Structure 1
Amino acid sequence: MKRVVVLTGGVGGAKLVLGLSHILPQGALTAIVNTGDDFRHLGLHVSPDIDTLLYTLADKANAAQGWGREGESWAFMAALRELGGPDWFALGDGDMALHVLRTHALMQGESLSQVTARFAARWNIPVSILPMSDQPVATMLDTDRGRLEFQRYFVEQRCEPAVRAVQFDGAAQAEPAPGVVDAILSADMILIAPSNPFLSVDPLLAVPALRSALEQTAAPIVAVSPLIGGKAVKGPTAKLMGDLNMAVDNDSIAHHYAGLIDAMLIDSGDRCDAPDIAIAHCATLMTTLSDRMRVAQAAIDLAAGLRG
């Protein structure tokens, strides 16, 4: 049985993981998830990328937006607004239950890894979901409106500020969560999801022992490009690349991952001239489940070819 590890964060990453979960046998897939987006809101510990993956794999995600729960109700937010509370970050009623239980468990001494594993088991999710670290790492953006934590930039200000630099507070001191390094070193292949390289993947790479494991592993590492035709399907990847004075193309993505990846999967109509890595093509837009499975299979085939 092939052991596949995927580094992921956000909606695009969750789509690939869902596709992988449908073509791999149970127990073969481990998802290592970005927690640089995690933050405290109204006293609650919110883990947006973990929650998006949990909801997606449990078939509970909002199909239209890709995040949050399908059929969500909003009584809590209505009551919050009535009392003058902060409403810039929306918490649905079902979503609140998850955040309350997570926060309570963390206060009782459980780790983020333990809480995440329990939620996944409760929903019969056949994927090992590992936070990148049980210790806090905060994605911070230096912008023309000052230094912003990720959710303030992404949600409150809708990615409008121009970004000058991205930093990961606490990453240098953070240790990978239990199981992360072992999963990487024992993997037959490692995939980097089409998540935002700078906001969703870089936080993982900023954890020293996690990056070191990626550099040591004998497994081929394949990145799936988040760009199609020079644009991001969702999120601020293209805008951020422009802010950072990067060409919005696959060559820039390959250069960003230089020294780490062995190959990159890009859209059928795109090109990449980066040296020293293999390039494969497929239609990478993931609208349906069959799309997700197709892209997942193409990434696995690319990695298997390298290993062979």
Structure 2
Amino acid sequence: MASSPRVVVLAGGVGGSKFTLGVRDALARRNGPEATVVVNTGDDLWLSGVRLQPDVDSILYALAGVNDTERGWGRDGDTERVNAELQQWGAGWPWFTLGDLDLGTHLARTGWLRDGLTPTQIVERLSGRWPLGVRMLPMTDTEVDTHVRVVGGDVLHFQEWWTRHRAQLTPLGFDHPGIEAALPAPGVVEAIADADVVLLAPSNPVVSIGPILAVPGIREALALTSAHVVGVSPIIGGAVVRGMADVCLTAIGVETSAAAVAAHYGTRSEGGLLDAWLIAEEDAHLAAAIDALGMRAVVAPLWMRDVAASAAMADAALAAAAV
């Protein structure tokens, strides 16, 4: 593999944004081409008449250096005057906060959608505001919001289940209405086909990476690419790093362990996705079991405490692809 590989990252959420920062830093030191980041849009929604793309915006803001690192979402230093006014009108969701600067992004996006632009064109336009150092693509231009079926028979939008109920309502499954007819966004399949390395970020396997893989054509592109496909475990020491991914994994019958998530993704030699799988030092004892699946286990520090740590993790993932 060339010292400056062409890299595609599949990502979503806070873990995806941190990892993407590391990939950008690692590739910049190689003077290589910019990575292409295919972003989950399965948790998008309409709220108060505007279209929100939480994962797109989280990664956009992180790359631009304007994200709120304390909360893990939204813009740094944002205010909430408009959100307070919406609450006074009884509009929106009282448990889902829209910051004023963040709302500016949503208004711009919604206006462009109504003008006829596609999500791909809008992401490109949003990306032009700051020097991001990567190329961002939504997974699809089709609206495929995630719905959660919970015990008792109710069906909730993912954001209501995740943000309002903090995943405390037991899920029976996750659906993406309309995804069967969706197409990969322009450039996604081509980027995967042309890549030297495809990296699965340590994002939630079920509701961040899962929707990307569910878009018809993307999993097939991963099977056909000559690139090495390397995943990074979102599980460290048998526990999730952030969020409620363990609840999601349990709902689909997957144990919360680095080895179980590796088996969930599967090895490419047997119709799965992965050539190699990065696991944390705390999970080194699982390496032999992961190797037995037919993929190569690589042990590396996986705590993304800062950009340098994320870049070191990206370096380890790129090294794993150089076999």
Indicate the TM-score class for this superposition, using the shorter chain for normalisation: over 0.9
1:198 aligned to 2:202?
A: no
1:39 aligned to 2:42?
A: no
Hey, what does 2:306 align to over in structure 1? Answer: 288
* Contact persistence 2:148–2:175 (CA under 8 A): yes
Map 1:51-62 to 2 at 5 A.
51-62=57-68
Counterpart residue type for residue 139 of structure 2: M
1:142 aligned to 2:174?
A: no
1:263 aligned to 2:271?
A: no
Hey, what does 1:119 align to over in structure 2? Answer: 126
For residues 183-215 of structure 1, the C-alpha deviation after alignment (integer angstroms, 9 at most, x for no partner) is 000000000000000000110111111111111
What is the alpha-carbon distance in structure 1 between the residues aligned to residue 143 and residue 234 of structure 2?
A: 26
Map 1:237-256 to 2 at 5 A.
237-256=245-264
Counterpart residue type for residue 246 of structure 1: V
Hey, what does 2:14 align to over in structure 1? Answer: 11
* Contact persistence 1:222–1:263 (CA under 8 A): yes
Counterpart residue type for residue 266 of structure 1: I
Hey, what does 1:183 align to over in structure 2? Answer: 191
SS at match of 2:148: strand
Map 1:86-235 to 2 at 5 A.
86-145=93-152, 146-235=154-243
Counterpart residue type for residue 21 of structure 1: R
Q: How many residues align?
A: 305
Q: What TM-score results when the alignment is normalised by the length of structure 1? A: 0.96
* Contact persistence 2:142–2:182 (CA under 8 A): yes
Which residues of structure 2 form unaligned runs of 5+? 267-271
Which residues of structure 1 form unaligned runs of 5+? none
Hey, what does 2:269 align to over in structure 1? Answer: none
What is the alpha-carbon distance in structure 2 between the residues aligned to residue 73 and residue 278 of structure 1?
A: 46
1:298 aligned to 2:316?
A: yes
For residues 155-182 of structure 1, the C-alpha deviation after alignment (integer angstroms, 9 at most, x for no partner) is 1211111111122211110001111010
Hey, what does 2:33 align to over in structure 1? Answer: 27
For residues 212-257 of structure 1, the C-alpha deviation after alignment (integer angstroms, 9 at most, x for no partner) is 1111111111110000111111111112223444321122101110
SS at match of 1:61: coil
* Contact persistence 1:225–1:264 (CA under 8 A): yes
Counterpart residue type for residue 209 of structure 2: V
* Contact persistence 1:19–1:292 (CA under 8 A): yes
SS at match of 1:290: helix
What is the alpha-carbon distance in structure 2 between the residues aligned to residue 118 and residue 267 of structure 1?
A: 37
What is the alpha-carbon distance in structure 1 between the residues aligned to residue 90 and residue 255 of structure 2?
A: 43
What is the alpha-carbon distance in structure 2 between the residues aligned to residue 73 and residue 27 of structure 1?
A: 36
What is the alpha-carbon distance in structure 1 between the residues aligned to residue 262 and residue 69 of structure 2?
A: 30
What is the alpha-carbon distance in structure 2 between the residues aligned to residue 81 and residue 178 of structure 1?
A: 38
Farther off after superposition, 171-180 or 77-86: 77-86
Q: What TM-score results when the alignment is normalised by the length of structure 2? A: 0.92
* Contact persistence 1:222–1:262 (CA under 8 A): yes
1:122 positional shift: 1.1
